[in-house]
Chains A and B, each alone.
Chain A
Amino acid sequence: QKEVEQNSGPLSVPEGAIASLNCTYSDRGSQSFFWYRQYSGKSPELIMSIYSNGDKEDGRFTAQLNKASQYVSLLIRDSQPSDSATYLCAVNRLGTGGFKTIFGAGTRLFVKA
């Protein structure tokens, strides 16, 4: 079982729709959770971080965390073609030398104009 699991996609949504991206993690002791966006050939760019159960909103993005279910999601409202990218879920958990950040394989999102 991978530590951080994401559906690889591709997830295809029409422009203006809500895109829903999901992620599960295996370590119950995980403390911090992040969503990164990565365009093809580029490095990951931090979109959202969330540290406690519930929802966190930033513009068109909402991150949701449910630690009991070990589940974190990202909602993108009013999706735009420029949102087409791979979205990486990352989890910060305790390792041998302290906390470290582990990434999922990413979900590819296509927003159709």
Chain B
Amino acid sequence: EAEVAQSPRYKITEKSQAVAFWCDPISGHATLYWYRQILGQGPELLVQFQDESVVDDSQLPKDRFSAERLKGVDSTLKIQPAELGDSAMYLCASSPSRARDAFFGQGTRLTVV
């Protein structure tokens, strides 16, 4: 069964350091999402790609976060510098199109110390 792949599963980093997460969506899925989920809350959309283009990054803290999907396939989310408040689960999801079901990867649990 096709899955969304994410790495690493867990990451511990010191504040002010840089950290990066990688996501490989289900093959053929044009839409890719990055969500952040703080414990006890629902996932919050950070950025949405349609193929290689960013179509929504209105909630992305652009002073420290960046995201790219250069060839319209896999994607990287970067945080630099990391802050204590960035500790959360970072979830990648993909969908055949923007109005269809989204499938999540296993997520990356980030702890900033």
Pick from A12-20, A56-64, A69-77, A91-99 the stretch touching chain B: A91-99
Q: Which B residues are within 8 Å of any A CB, using their own CB?
A: 33, 35, 40-45, 48, 50, 54-56, 58, 89, 91, 95, 98-107, 109
> Within 8 Å CB of A34, what residues of B?
101-102
> Within 8 Å CB of A80, what residues of B?
none
Q: Give the size of the chain A interface in residues (CB under 8 angstroms).
A: 27
Given known contacts A88-B43, A97-B48, A98-B50, A43 and B91 CB-to-CB distance under 8 angstroms: yes
> Within 8 Å CB of A95, what residues of B?
56, 58
Say which residue of A46, A98, A106 sits within 8 Å of B103 (CB atoms): A46
Provide the A90-113 mask, 1 if CB < 8 A to any CB of B, else 0.
101001111111111110000000
Say yes or no: B58 contacts A44, CB within 8 Å.
no
